[in-house]
Structure 1
Amino acid sequence: MGEKREYKKRIPGGGRKKLKPEYDAGKNLKEQMESTVTLYEEERSLQSIADALNLNPIKVRKLLITAGIYESDIAEMVQRTFDNYRETRSYKDAVLSTASSLKLSRASVTSYLPYEKSVYFPKEAPVEKISVGAERQRRYRAVRKLRTEPTEEHLWEVVLLYSGVRLKTYSGLPFTYEIRKGRNGQYTKELWIDRRENSKSLAWSSVLLALNNIKEVGAVVDRPKALGDIRGVTYIYGMFYRFGLIDMPDKVNGKMKGAGRQM
């Protein structure tokens, strides 16, 4: 028998080298997603975006769904049904069950789901985790829903999306607000107003009270107190103006310059 070879310790990561070490599928997908969102912001059709990026329209839709900004009844129904099955089943089984339940093909179901191996940005994803384009588009859609149907649910969605965004009070003072999370990881329904050095809390019940005092969405509200004798109403007034829930007298608009309704 020959001599026993000396054992060489395996070096971590020392396996077969990648044929294309510079290739990063995740990075490429993210870049595609951001390009798709940018074109979608211009209100272009899926086919138009697909032609510009040399992609299939179905992939364009899937990228927009992954970015969290594409909305349609069937997309929401597929996602909701899939999520229910996914709680107790594997990804593959959840897809098959969804297809069977909705009488769709497996390919149709997956085309309405976000990319499994990519960063998915659901509606609850914090704004710092999404691209600027996706964030702006998400705000636009949420504000549009709120103006059409000013419910507590729609208002909460918009309030979450505008956390950290610079706003202005009736007198023109800049402020931002944040919404903190409790020990259970869920958002507390309390807004913390940060203006200069001190932070003040604003109860969600106060915001809802002001919402209920709006007689007509988009109507002129002369001053904050017209929304009610509510603690922190001057901040609520600035928020509601930015959300398009109210308008303000022409004489005040100059003070609000720089805090317009761009999304």
Structure 2
Amino acid sequence: MGEKRPYKARNPGGGRKKRKPEYDAGKKLKEQLDAAVVLYNSEMSLQAIADALSLNPIKARKLLITAGVYGSDTAKLVRQTFNTFRETQDYSTAVTSTMVALQLSRPSVTSYLPYEKGVYFPEEAEAENISAGAERQRHYRAVVALRKDPCEVNLWKCVVAFRGYKFKTMSSSPFTYTLKKGRGDEFTKELWIDHREGSKSLALSSVMLAYHNIGKIGEVVDRPKALGDIRGVSYIYGMFYRFGLIDMPEKVKEKMTK
């Protein structure tokens, strides 16, 4: 056996760097709480508050409960029951005990309890508003859904999920894209590519055209032009690889990972 190396303590704060060092869950929660309270104090209905914050009413109510401004007989009963159990039980066990005592489901109980760590953000939330972990989960769910059921609907959901993600073209040139919202607060069918040459638009119809030119999901596509003579296909090629729709030759992947 070789000679043992002396133990070297890790430096405080050492290790893997955070992907989003600027993300502050507490700050984001406070911003949501402040916005909800302002709307609540203006005598808006729970549904109207939820619509304004792009949340469902249950999540909006939970925000107001967290802020301490919302009250109802049910909310008061759940909180009192939970707090009694919480004196001798951990959080999860106290929730279960409250469920049994009040004959309520787990979602019903937790919906009347304040947030303790972070805050829910909808799928439409911008990347800077969610943690790196939540963003990875968003990407994973979108890719799995697309691979399980390849269709235009799931491809569009993947496009929405990956806005702000750093892709690479075949030549290893990095790029991202954003989506803008139009009427009805819905995303328009146009991707705005942010590349070193500046910003340019890419129509969703071009993305769908390239998608239908794929012979078999997951097959190796040698070059972008193999997807068709389509404007912006070099970007689509990098996106499709990340979405799991196509594979690349090994030499190309090696170049992209350098």
**Per-residue CA shift, 1:120-178, capped at 9, x if unaligned?**
22222222211111111221121111111122222222212221221111222221111
Contact 1:114–1:120 (8 Å) recurs in 2 = no
> CA–CA distance in 2 between the matches of 1:135 and 1:217?
24
- Which residue is equivalent to 2:252? 252
SS at match of 1:110: helix
**Structure 1 residues 157, 92: closer, same or farther in 2, change over 3 A?**
farther
Secondary structure at the residue paired with 1:141? helix
Native 8 Å contact 1:241 1:247 kept in 2: yes
1:166 matched to 2:166? The reply is: yes
Q: Distance in 2 between matches of 1:114 and 1:160?
A: 31
Counterpart secondary structure, 1:254: helix
Q: Is 1:150 the counterpart of 2:150 in the alignment? A: yes
TM-score (norm: length of structure 2): 0.56
Change beyond 3 A, Cα 1:115–1:246:
farther
Q: Is residue 2:124 matched to residue 1:124?
A: yes
Structure 1 residues 112 and 220: CA distance shift in structure 2, 3 A? farther
The total of aligned residue pairs comes to 170
Give how far 1:115 is off.
6.0
Change (3 A) 1:121 1:80: closer
- Aligned residue in 2 for 1:229: 229
State the alpha-carbon separation in 2 of the partners of residues 91 and 178 from structure 1: 39
Where structure 2 has 5 or more consecutive residues not aligned to the other structure, the ranges are 1-24, 30-54, 60-69, 76-102
- Cα deviation digits, residues 202-258 of structure 1 (max 9, x gap): 000111111112222211011111111211111100100111110011221222116
Against the structure 1 CA distance between its residues 199 and 80, is the aligned structure 2 distance closer, same or farther, given a 3 Å change threshold?
closer
Aligned residues: percent identity?
56
Per the normalisation by structure 1, the TM-score is 0.55
2:46 aligned partner: none
Q: Is the 8 A contact 2:191 2:201 kept in 1?
A: yes
CA distance in 1, matches of 2:112, 2:126: 17
- Note if contact 1:166-1:174 (Cα within 8 Å) is conserved in structure 2: yes
